[in-house]
Amino acid sequence: MQMDAVTLDQLRVLLQVVEAGSFSAAGRRLRRVQSAISQAMANLEGQLGLTLWDRSTRVPTLTDAGRGVVAAARRVCGEVDALRQLAAGMTKGLEAEVSLCVDALFPTGPLVGFCRAFAAEFPTVGLRVDSQTMSAVASRVLAGSATLGVVSPMGGSPGLERVALGAVHMLPVVAADHPLARRRGRVSTALLGEHVQVVLSERSADGVPDQAVLSPRTWRVNDLHTKHALLRAGLGWGNLPAAMISADLQDGVLVRIRPEAWSDDEHTLHLAAVYRQGTILGPAHRWTLAQLARLCRSDDEAAAPRPRRARR
């Protein structure tokens, strides 16, 4: 076996023969005589030490070994094409990777939409997405672990540039079978204090203090999905992003409550993208900022709580 002698051209010829259906048809596509195609296949077989084509029929067909080599050739040629595109993009200033860290409150819909659009726009650029809570996002950006971050107002930090994105509307809710679900109108702080409040808390002890705590009885969690699950299970009350629970509210799984201590829009949190001061953003990072802002605005408009109609 002489693997070092195998050329990219031989692999591409092999793929052309498979796609065209015959040696002669591949020759016409590549503008080569049929004998050159046959010689290229014979050389490839000799270098690999394998019989790739069954020539006992009028039109040669792939052997089992040939089918395996074709699959590998597609992978090799695909990687080479990706390398070529990457190199071409980098000569124009395109980054090799975009690293993004988002606050746990960042809505999943826009994040998935961003990743889908990113894959279509920058197929050769790597993407790393991380999720953290509050100040941990800014810490990642300042440390260089992420180039871009998306923070809530509690998670900002000096030394970072900010770009406004959109709002997250937080709604206080309970499960439909929770005692507070039967309350109509405003709920007093004294009554809320009789029940467990589930609070999203920082992972580190030196982070941002707990926010919007009204009850002395608190359960603290450090990820939003756990908080969501506990509230759905009727184990307490707490704030969750409107976009995250829209289906739960519509289906009656969760019920919105209205603490008298808060106005209905008091916990609308304005998100911002952040990056270190002095950072020169390449085209993929600049596109990321613009795309996140556009998706957040669309999601904000869809998820914003509708004003309640006055009863007559």
Write down the pTM of the prediction: 0.59
Locate 165 and state its tokens.
Answer: 């994105």
Per-residue confidence (pLDDT) for residue 310, from 0 to 100: 41
Instruction: Report the C-alpha gap between 253 and 251 in whole angstroms.
Output: 6
pLDDT, averaged per 10 consecutive residues of the chain (312 residues), comes to 76 89 87 89 89 87 91 86 63 79 85 91 90 84 89 76 86 95 91 93 62 87 90 95 91 94 83 87 90 75 50 38
The three-class DSSP label of residue 75 is: helix
- Angle 23-30/34-48 helices, nearest 10 degrees? 110
Topology (CATH level 3) of domain 3-91 = Arc Repressor Mutant, subunit A (1.10.10)
Cα–Cα distance between 103 and 244 in angstroms, integer? 14
Q: At CA 226, angle to CA 242 and CA 257, rounded to 5? A: 40
Q: What is the C-alpha to C-alpha distance for residues 4 and 212, in angstroms, rounded to an integer?
A: 66
CATH 3.40.190.290 in the chain is located at 169-264
8 Å CB contact between 33 and 44: no
pLDDT at 85: 60
Q: Do residues 26 and 53 lie in contact, with contact meaning Cβ atoms separated by under 8 Å?
A: no
Residue owning tokens 């050769």: 124
Q: E strand or H helix at 264, and its extent?
A: none
- Tell me the pairing of strands 97-103 and 148-151: parallel
Could you tell me which residues come within 8 angstroms of residue 241 by beta carbon, excluding any fewer than 6 positions away?
Answer: 105, 107, 168, 169, 170, 171, 224, 303
Question: For residues 108 and 104, what is the distance between their CA atoms, to the nearest angstrom?
Answer: 9
Q: For position 87, what pLDDT does the model report?
A: 65
What pLDDT is stored for residue 204 in this prediction?
58
Is 169-264 CATH 3.40.190.290? yes
CATH superfamily of 97-166+269-303: Periplasmic binding protein-like II (3.40.190.10)
CATH 1.10.10.10 positions along the chain are 3-91
Phi first, then psi: give them for residue 163, nearest 5 degrees.
-130, 120
